[in-house]
Chain A
Amino acid sequence: MNIQNSVKYTLLSTLSLAVLSIAAVGCGKSVPSTEALSPLTPASVDANAGAWKMIVLTGPTQIPVPAPVIKTDPGYLSELAQIKTAQASLTDTQKSAITFWSAGGVLRWNEYMRELAARQDLPPSPNPDGSYGVPSAANPFANPQYPFSNPPYAARAFSYVSVAQFEALKATWFYKYQYNRASPFKNDSSIQNLMPDSGIPSYPSEDAVESAVNAALLKLLFPTNAAEIDQKAAEQQQVALISGRASASDIAAGIALGNAVAAVFQARAGSDGMKAAGGNAAIWQQLADNAKARGEVPWLSQDGPPRPPMLPVFGSVKGWMLTPADFLAERPGPPPSTSSAQMATELTEVRTVVNNVTRDQLATVYKWADGASTSTPPGHWNMIAVPYIVSANMSEVRAARVFALLDMALHDSAIACWDAKYAYFSPRPSQLDPNIKVWTGLPNFPAYVSGHSDFSAAAADVLSYLFPSGAGYFNAQMQEAALSRLYAGIHYRSDIVVGMTHGQRIGEYTVRFAKTDGAN
């Protein structure tokens, strides 16, 4: 009996310990989907931002903003009364909206833009006959939905939104300090201030400008989400009002300015070459024929069924900081010939790496996979910038500058990278050696140069300029992102090494602009 009992108690206590340790981790289901950010009190108001150099606009007054009425005007007084009425009966939803937007609209819209990119990051599904549909901007809800927000698409989208927002906010700052109208809570002491007092004049409202410019461009770029985008914009505008920061006329002027700036960028987006970036069957065939004529093995799609190459003419899309001649001048030299000894050596390295991959290397692969249903590498680098913007307590216009510079460099590196990919049309390792099995989704475009390497080097270069204290970290992230593609078995080392130096050169174009834009 003693043996039985001791066995019984040992087993029981072991089991209950195990069950308790499982139960201890089984709690706490909820994971918040938005970032927890503190209310923004900028370290500097950046009162001279209206004089910072423009990128697309001719200057801060390209869009005229009429002077506001004086603060004793009956119309303005009734606007103040409207705020008091609203503040007397704030709902819980309104209070949490105030908390949400008080972190700064620039960060919130960037967060939402990455969500939209991830939502739309789905390749078309094959038809029964093995063909693939093409997303259509004219009919965005059809199957496949428009857009397929792949890395070049997302890079371009982020850059349009971020640059337009930056230009609009510089113009906003110009008029704010020209007219110097104080916030409603300063003009009427019975109005509460429910957001941090930045000391920045309220006309036109920066919140309204952000809501309008973001909404207009996001609806152009991610049209199936229009209803949700409008709802977000309306919420931000309402928060500006009920928090006591802006009056109805501050907001109306902001919306008008934001929409006018957005229209400039909508026009640019309509004629920047993106519509032709998908190419056609004749172009796809020509790319393969060109590679064969050079004596190289041409890239083949390894998707099942084979899929047309991703955006083969994206290399001709209009850049921000580089002209077409600049892009051509920066094009890297050719990859090792598919029949060369160096290629054989690099292929052997890929085979060895994938067959002996460590768990740490796989963690790097998964961290940087950035495949379907993600905000793609450009979105990943926007996410990396966020904590640096937050801890610097940047004004809205300065935070917008970071995203604009970063996303211009990412878009330019996307163009430059895609130009190289289709100039050389080089096969992936798993095409040259069918025994190579890969650890993440195989991208459906040529290998040379690596997109992750190119994007990451351009982004790390710009962020290191903006946040010198983070340079070591950004560089380490770049190395990790780039090498993750070797560990995954989808890139040769030369794709990565050349991609990094190439991306860094592309990033420098934006850094050179940033050094002279008046914001330093």
Chain B
Amino acid sequence: MPVFRFMVCIVALLALSPRDVKAQTAEDGIMLSKLKYCTGVFYSYDYWDHYWEGSLNRVNGNIGTLSTRTVEYTGNFAVTDKLNLLATVPYVYTSASKGVLHGQSGFQDLALAAKYKLISVPVHGIGAVRAIVVLSGSLPMTDYTPDDLPLSIGSHGKHIAGRGTLNYLGRNGLYLNGSTEYSFRGNVHLDRPSYYTNGHLTLSDEVPLPNQFEYSVSAGYRKNDTTLTAGFSQQQTRGGGDIRQQDVPFVSNRTNYSKINATLTYPLPRVRDLQYWFLYSNTFDGRNVGQANTFTTGFLYTFDFSRRAGTR
């Protein structure tokens, strides 16, 4: 597969925030080639001072700016050219700049994904279109609470998701990507015996989380391990209540957002197989989420086991 002489790793931390647990969406259309292992660490800084209480955009004097810092290990192993396995392990810190609330921190959710290339169709020698499917899931690694939002580090839920991606990569570097995902979310448990949300008091510690639908499009340049793309993504939650006036958020709230994002990857000169990544995203519209800016930066290194196994 000479098209992939320069392999690329998939780390889409575009949307990482405590209530938006999707550590690695694997949403791009690029595959890692056989028996390579791409791994690294990312640091992400997400902050907001405005948020949507239902559909009302406001500030909160008991929060000020809510900051979420994430350090994340990520790895992608290519079993074959068609099958990549991905894993991420995030450690999350939250804090509020005003008020008296204590921040939270800890290992959040282990995310695993299998990415499979269904088909690759050459386009008249100028590029190729690929169709890719991803099966992913996540589960909490620690006993953190989802009941201290917005300071909780996540929803403490399990989910499984299916994703489909269509991608065009031209030999001239033109990159076009469209991706969509549906996520099934399991029930979560609180430490209290009742809770009020969406108009009703429920006499249980168990909270059903509504499923989520997400799609994204992006376009840009990708060639010789260098990437510069810009994109748009949207998440819709298929149920759940709004944050009520002056109330705290609740784990099953209907969290919707629209984001723009940009991605830059750059291979370091003279250091073979080491790549620098920078990602930015901005939430410009939403419901029951922070109006967040997120900066993510990190390095990825690729090991090539195919050389050691002597198959290439």
Contact = CB atoms under 8 A, between A and B. Distances in A.
Contact of A18 (B80, B83, B112, B245): B112
Contacts of A366: 145, 147-148, 190-192
Nearest to B239: A29
B203 A383 contact: yes
Contacts of B279: none
B187 A437 contact: no
Contact of B61 (A22, A28, A305, A430): A305
B194 A383 contact: yes
A442 B248 CA distance: 13
Contacts of B61: 126, 303-305
A51 interface: no
A74 interface: no
Contact of A29 (B138, B143, B194, B208): B208
A122 B203 contact: no
A135 to B, nearest CB: 12
Contact of A438 (B101, B160, B195): B101
Interface in B52-84: 60-62, 64, 77, 79-80, 83
B191 A363 contact: yes
A12 B187 CA distance: 26
B186 A437 contact: no
B230 interface: no
A80 interface: no
A9 to B, nearest CB: 9
Given A12-B79, A33-B203, A144 B193 contact: no
Nearest to B103: A437
A114 interface: yes
A385 interface: no
A211 to B, nearest CB: 20
Given A22-B139, A303-B62, A369 B192 contact: yes
Interface string B169-210: 000000000000000111100111111110111111011100
Interface string B232-258: 000000000000111110100000000
Contact of B200 (A27, A33, A123, A441): A33
B134 to A, nearest CB: 12
Given A15-B85, A19-B137, A439-B148, A359 B143 contact: yes
A21 B145 contact: no
A367 B193 contact: yes
Interface residues of A, number: 65
Nearest to B211: A29
A430 B99 CA distance: 10
Contacts of A437: 100-103
A33 B137 contact: no
Contacts of A22: 137-139, 158-160, 186
Nearest to A442: B100
A7 B79 contact: yes
Interface in A94-128: 111, 114-115, 118-119, 121-126
B185 A26 contact: yes
B312 to A, nearest CB: 12
Contact of A304 (B98, B112, B114, B158): B98
Interface of A: 1, 3-4, 7-8, 11-12, 15, 18-19, 21-23, 25-35, 111, 114-115, 118-119, 121-126, 143-144, 302-305, 354, 359, 362-364, 366-369, 371-375, 383, 430, 436-442, 489
Given A121-B196, A367-B193, 12 more contacts: A3-B309, A8-B79, A8-B83, A15-B114, A22-B138, A25-B187, A34-B203, A118-B201, A367-B192, A373-B250, A375-B196, A438-B102
- By Cβ-Cβ distance, the 10 closest A-B pairs, closest first, are A304-B61, A115-B201, A437-B102, A118-B196, A366-B191, A26-B186, A22-B137, A363-B191, A125-B246, A22-B158
25 contacts: A3-B309, A8-B80, A11-B79, A12-B114, A22-B138, A22-B139, A26-B184, A29-B208, A30-B208, A31-B202, A35-B203, A118-B201, A125-B245, A359-B143, A366-B147, A366-B192, A369-B192, A373-B196, A373-B244, A373-B248, A373-B250, A374-B195, A440-B148, A441-B248, A442-B101
